[in-house]
Amino acid sequence: MLEVNNLTAGYGAARAISELAFRVPTAGAVALLGRNGAGKSTTIKSVMGLCDIYDGRITLDGVTLSGQSPDAIARAGVGYVPEDRRVFADLSVMENLETGKKAGADGAVIWTAPKVFDLFPEIARRRDASAGTLSGGERQMLAIARALMGNPRILLLDEPSEGLAPVVVQRLGETLSALAVEGLTLLLAEQNKALARRLANNVVILETGHVVFTGTFDDLDRMPELLERYLSV
Amino acid sequence: MGFFVAQFLTGLASASSLFLVAAGLSIIFGVTRVVNFAHGSLYMIGAFIAYSVASRFGFWIAVPVAAVGAGALGWVMERTVLRHLYKAPELFQLVATFGLVLIIQDAALWLWGPTDLLGPRAPGLSGAIHILDEPIPTYDLFLIAVGLAVLGGVWWMFARTRFGVLVRAATEDREMLQALGVRPDRLFQVTFFIGAALAGLGGALEVPRQTVTLSMDLTIIAEAFVVVVIGGMGSVLGAFLAAVLIAELNAFGILIFPEITLVIAFVVMAVVLIVRPYGLLGKAPQGAHAAVEIQAPAKLGKYGRIGGGLLLVGLLILPLVGSEFAVVLMTDVLIFALMAAGLHFMMGTGGLISFGHAAFFGLGAYGAALLSSKLGFSMWLALAGAPVIAAIGAALIGLFAVRLSGVYLAMLTLAGAQILWSLGVQWQDLTGGDDGILGIWPADSVTGTTAFYYLCFGLSVIAIAAMMAAAGGRFGLLLRATRDNAPRARALGINVGKRRWAAIVIAGMAAGLAGGLYVFSKGSVFPSTLAIPRSVDALVMVLLGGLHAPAGPIIGAGVFTLLEDSLSRLDYWRALLGAFIVAIAISAPGGIGGALSNWVSRAQRQRS
């Protein structure tokens, strides 16, 4: 279980989120929703140790993550699929997978290159191509595959559908929900409510760095005014 | 035909060591983003170790021992100094690693003594092979082979090993790699070891070709910087191509115009940077954007103004109460304060890093000396000419410089200064070479120590006050906008290039005037006024005083000059100075001025 308690974080002197609290149960999935600038990305980055944490605590299965370096957090079992994918453009697909390769926090190796290629045959065909030549959808698949190569307990996905065609989003949705069904814990920041709903039961809505709603998507359906207020565009 | 082939092969052989050093520098930069000024010192240490080991165990044992020894020293450097600087601005990294240069230089002086050492020939490779009837030294062919072998080995490492993949990934996006679980510290240590070992290998292989001297470090580092910048920071193949290009241009340039050799590399670099600002095979830095740190306005606070007033009064009455020695020393302080104020203006307010401030200082100094000695100008006219000549030089360098930033700008300014320095050394008819120009004395009206002191006092105070006013006023405001966020400044209609160019010209004028005063205070000028250490002195003064403190250059020049005066009486004072520089870069990045203003504001907060 990932627990975020009383989290206040940001960049340098700029505070982006305040007193955030939510949980992601083991083998569960939580979607962070909210408008641009609401603090979704910062929340994900806080878990990953990529921004400054001023107060609060983040734990994964009882192990404290907050205050650790990003590499230690990754080794504790957190997989990270960043906004804009950040694949290594000069490296081949295969080499990108190599950068993410490590045993899980418990020493287990479930994910290997052949296994992630089974999951994403699209990139298997291009294993020797440099990642810079991949399409947006292929890059997203590579970023997910690279994170899986680290055998994580929880996968953080920052705006996985951003900039992708609906058919590609559909395709990613299938794979990610299959992973969720197999028991991988997911925390995703997403603007695409349909994708979020498909992957997660629970939802946390952020607005200007604060949690304004925590509950299930079914709860949310009963409160259309919330959707109107915090998510309408 | 045979002659040209021979010349070509000689060029390739010279390229080998340069490539080894530059490749190490480039790999280290790619992974750690640290430009290691002390990389040339590793090359020098490699040569010294090879010399010593070869005399007991033979040359072929000495070469690998030297490589491992330099690698180990690089690893120690990383663990003790550089790891504290990974998050520091690149300016502090450069200055701190220059501190290491001084420390290692004195350590080598202590261990191996001041005399140049002549190493052994390489056993088995002492003869020559005839190619097209031209004798080619066998050792040169061996060096060419080693260069190619290292290029192949590095390529293999990058393409085929996990370490190589991680190095390339780190070069592209270090933060992402860390978020995948890769420990950056281990990667950095191994990278430093390998890069340093390559430098040590380069030094060891030069032992049969040239004498081992204490000046090898700065000579090679200036060339290696040029090679890495031309090739593209972080690109090993680029470093190879650039090393070959430079070495061949030298090999053939020397046939046409022997004096050209020192200059040619820097001219090529300037041209490449104009056409391809990130080098032949380099890429624009991507991924993490530099954090914008908004600085408080560059104006003196209440206590600063009181302190400034007291300082002015103190300086005015100094000749009445102080000894003649004190007056002479304070004349130096005033001149250096003016020089540092110029650098502070372009670097603090403009964010334009210069590693070649000595160029402007030296232009003023040589300009005044030549106007006075060759054209018979009076001191007053020569002194008026100094800032004009320096401003012209600054305007030219500025044309290239405004397109660059950060490390590339630092390298270009260093290159500009090196061109002038080599002119100073080589153009003997004009500059007198190493003998300099002598007998430049002030006008009768200011010939005494006290009178000349007041002249320096008046000119420095006026010029520094004018720059402080400009930094605190509208000009400084717009310049700071270009420093903090150039794209946004452009979007607001500010002509970023023009502002930066103006800042460089102003900095040049100030340093030029200081150089003019310096010549008349010493009565002579030598190429050392244009050399790298002078540029670094100016940098250290600015950092010591505080990059963002309005009074920084005054405080910095004062403390530095007084410190140097007392330190330089000791043996191994450069090592002490180096340690001091390292300590400042790591532990007091705000300088003395920054510490003072923190202290004042804390005291004020407590009272309220």
A214-223, pLDDT tens digit by residue? 999 988 888 8
Which residues does B380 contact at the CB level (< 8 Å), separation at least 6?
Answer: B443
B117 backbone dihedrals φ, ψ, rounded to 5°: -110, 135
Q: Tell if the CB–CB gap between B179 and A89 is shorter than 8 Å.
A: no
pLDDT at B304: 80
List chain A residues with CB under 8 Å of B171.
90
Distance between CA atoms of B169 and B572, rounded to whole angstroms? 42
- Which residues, in sequence order, are bridge partners of residue B131? B134
| Chain B residue nearest residue A70, CA to CA | B179
- A15 reaches B (C-beta below 8 A): no
| Chain A residue nearest residue B287, CA to CA | A86
B296: distance to nearest CA of chain A, Å?
A: 14
pLDDT at B259: 67
pLDDT tens-digit readout, A86-121: 999 999 999 999 999 999 999 999 999 999 999 999
CB A32 within 8 A of CB A40: yes
CB B127 within 8 A of CB B138: yes
Taking any CB pair shorter than 8 Å as contact, residues of chain B touching chain A are 162, 165-166, 168-169, 171-173, 175-184, 287, 291, 293
Find the CB nearest A74 among B162, B181, B287.
B181
- A147 reaches B (C-beta below 8 A): yes
Half-sphere exposure of B40 (CA within 13 A, CB side): 24
Q: What is the DSSP string of B26-85?
A: HHHHHHH----TTHHHHHHHHHHHHHHHHHHH-HHHHHHHHHHHHHHHHHHHHHHTGGGS
Q: Tell if the CB–CB gap between B169 and A80 is shorter than 8 Å.
A: no
B169: distance to nearest CA of chain A, Å?
A: 6
pLDDT at B289: 38
Taken in order of first residue, the domains within chain A and their CATH numbers are 1-77+191-233 (3.40.50.300)
Dihedral sign (CA B364, B459, B562, B595): negative
Structure tokens at A125: 């065909």
| Chain B residue nearest residue A104, CA to CA | B181
Find the CB nearest B172 among A75, A82, A89.
A89
CB B509 within 8 A of CB B550: no
List chain A residues with CB under 8 Å of B165.
91, 95, 98-99
Q: Which residues of A97-115 are buried (b: 16+ CB within 10 A; e: fewer)?
A: bbbbbbebbeeeeebebee
Q: Tell if the CB–CB gap between A100 and B180 is shorter than 8 Å.
A: yes
List chain A residues with CB under 8 Å of B175.
50, 70
Is 70 exceeded by the pLDDT of residue A233? no
| Chain B residue nearest residue A84, CA to CA | B287
Domain final position from B169, B193, B214: B214
Find the CB nearest B172 among A70, A90, A146.
A90
- Which residues, in sequence order, are bridge partners of residue A64? A59
Which residues does B130 contact at the CB level (< 8 Å), separation at least 6?
Answer: B136
pLDDT tens-digit readout, A7-61: 999 988 788 999 999 999 999 999 999 888 899 999 999 999 999 999 999 999 9
Q: Tell if the CB–CB gap between B173 and A146 is shorter than 8 Å.
A: no
Q: What is the CA radius of gyration of chain A?
A: 17
Which residues does B515 contact at the CB level (< 8 Å), separation at least 6?
Answer: B339, B360, B361, B362, B363, B364, B365, B366, B367, B368, B386, B390, B529
- A11 reaches B (C-beta below 8 A): yes
Q: How far is CA B58 from CA B69, B123, B181, B337, in A?
A: 16, 8, 45, 52
- A52 reaches B (C-beta below 8 A): no
Domain annotation covers residue B253: no
| Chain B residue nearest residue A101, CA to CA | B180
| Chain B residue nearest residue A156, CA to CA | B179
Considering the domain architecture, whether residues B157 and B201 belong to the same structural domain is answered as yes
Q: Tell if the CB–CB gap between B168 and A88 is shorter than 8 Å.
A: yes
Q: Number of folded domains in chain B?
A: 3
Burial of A181 (0-12, 13-18, 19+ CB in 10 A): exposed
A12: distance to nearest CA of chain B, Å?
A: 9
Tell which phi-psi region holds residue A77, choosing left (phi > 0), alpha (psi between -120 and 50) or beta. left
- A102 reaches B (C-beta below 8 A): yes
Domain final position from B486, B509, B530: B530
Domain annotation covers residue B500: yes
Q: Give the pLDDT means over successive 10-residue stretches in chain B (608 positions).
A: 87 91 91 88 97 93 96 95 83 87 94 90 83 86 93 92 93 92 92 96 93 89 87 89 91 78 76 82 58 56 82 86 88 94 91 91 94 89 93 89 78 84 85 87 84 92 92 88 85 88 95 95 92 88 86 89 85 87 84 80 78
Interface contacts (A, B; CB < 8 Å): 65
B293: distance to nearest CA of chain A, Å?
A: 9
Considering the domain architecture, whether residues B142 and B194 belong to the same structural domain is answered as yes
Find the CB nearest A99 among B166, B287, B293.
B166
Dihedral sign (CA B360, B362, B363, B365): positive
CB B538 within 8 A of CB B547: no
A122: distance to nearest CA of chain B, Å?
A: 22
Considering the domain architecture, whether residues B580 and B597 belong to the same structural domain is answered as yes
Burial of A62 (0-12, 13-18, 19+ CB in 10 A): exposed
Domain that holds residue B526: 357-530
- A24 reaches B (C-beta below 8 A): no
Angle ∠(A138,A141,A146) on CA atoms, nearest 5? 125
| Chain A residue nearest residue B162, CA to CA | A98
Domain annotation covers residue B265: no
Global ipTM: 0.95
Domain annotation covers residue B381: yes
Q: Tell if the CB–CB gap between A98 and B165 is shorter than 8 Å.
A: yes
| Chain A residue nearest residue B165, CA to CA | A95
A17: distance to nearest CA of chain B, Å?
A: 19
Considering the domain architecture, whether residues B550 and B468 belong to the same structural domain is answered as no
A205: distance to nearest CA of chain B, Å?
A: 25
Considering the domain architecture, whether residues B208 and B111 belong to the same structural domain is answered as yes
Please, what is the angle between helix B573-587 and helix B532-545, to 10°? 40
Considering the domain architecture, whether residues B60 and B139 belong to the same structural domain is answered as yes
Q: Tell if the CB–CB gap between B179 and A71 is shorter than 8 Å.
A: yes
A226: distance to nearest CA of chain B, Å?
A: 34
Q: Is B287 helix (H, G, I), strand (E, B) or coil?
A: coil
Which alpha helices (H) appear in B345-405, and where do they start and end?
Answer: 357-373, 379-401
Q: Tell if the CB–CB gap between B169 and A48 is shorter than 8 Å.
A: no
Considering the domain architecture, whether residues B448 and B566 belong to the same structural domain is answered as no
Instruction: Count the Cβ atoms, other than its own, within 10 Å of residue B224.
Output: 29
Distance between CA atoms of B122 and A64, rounded to whole angstroms? 59
Considering the domain architecture, whether residues B469 and B552 belong to the same structural domain is answered as no
Q: Which residue in B86, B173, B180, B281 has the most chain A C-beta atoms within 10 A of its own C-beta, making it the best mutation to test that interface? A: B180
Residue with tokens 């000549």: B389
Q: What is the CA radius of gyration of chain B?
A: 25
pLDDT at B442: 85
pLDDT tens-digit readout, A55-81: 999 999 999 999 999 999 999 999 999
CB A200 within 8 A of CB A186: yes
Domain annotation covers residue B127: yes
Considering the domain architecture, whether residues B472 and B587 belong to the same structural domain is answered as no
List chain B residues with CB under 8 Å of A88.
168-169, 172-173, 176-177
Considering the domain architecture, whether residues B508 and B543 belong to the same structural domain is answered as no
Q: Which residue in A81, A83, A86 has the most chain B C-beta atoms within 10 A of its own C-beta, making it the best mutation to test that interface? A: A86
Considering the domain architecture, whether residues B367 and B513 belong to the same structural domain is answered as yes
pLDDT tens-digit readout, B77-90: 999 998 888 877 77
List chain B residues with CB under 8 Å of A70.
175, 178-179
Domain annotation covers residue B105: yes
Distance between CA atoms of B555 and B548, rounded to whole angstroms? 12
- A75 reaches B (C-beta below 8 A): yes
pLDDT at B287: 39
Structure tokens at B523: 């009565």
Mean per-residue pLDDT for A127-143?
A: 94
Domain final position from B179, B214, B249: B214
Distance between CA atoms of B236 and B67, rounded to whole angstroms? 18
Window A:185-214, CB contacts with B under 8 Å: none
Considering the domain architecture, whether residues B424 and B544 belong to the same structural domain is answered as no
List chain B residues with CB under 8 Å of A49.
179
Q: Is B484 helix (H, G, I), strand (E, B) or coil?
A: helix
Find the CB nearest A99 among B180, B287, B291.
B180
Find the CB nearest A71 among B165, B183, B287.
B183
Distance between CA atoms of B236 and B161, rounded to whole angstroms? 16
B50: distance to nearest CA of chain A, Å?
A: 37
Q: Tell if the CB–CB gap between B162 and A75 is shorter than 8 Å.
A: no
- Which residues, in sequence order, are bridge partners of residue A157? A81, A188
Q: Tell if the CB–CB gap between B173 and A95 is shorter than 8 Å.
A: no
pLDDT at A67: 92
Domain annotation covers residue B363: yes
Distance between CA atoms of B141 and B126, rounded to whole angstroms? 11
Distance between CA atoms of B60 and B496, rounded to whole angstroms? 55
A232: distance to nearest CA of chain B, Å?
A: 30
- Which residues, in sequence order, are bridge partners of residue A187? A30, A156
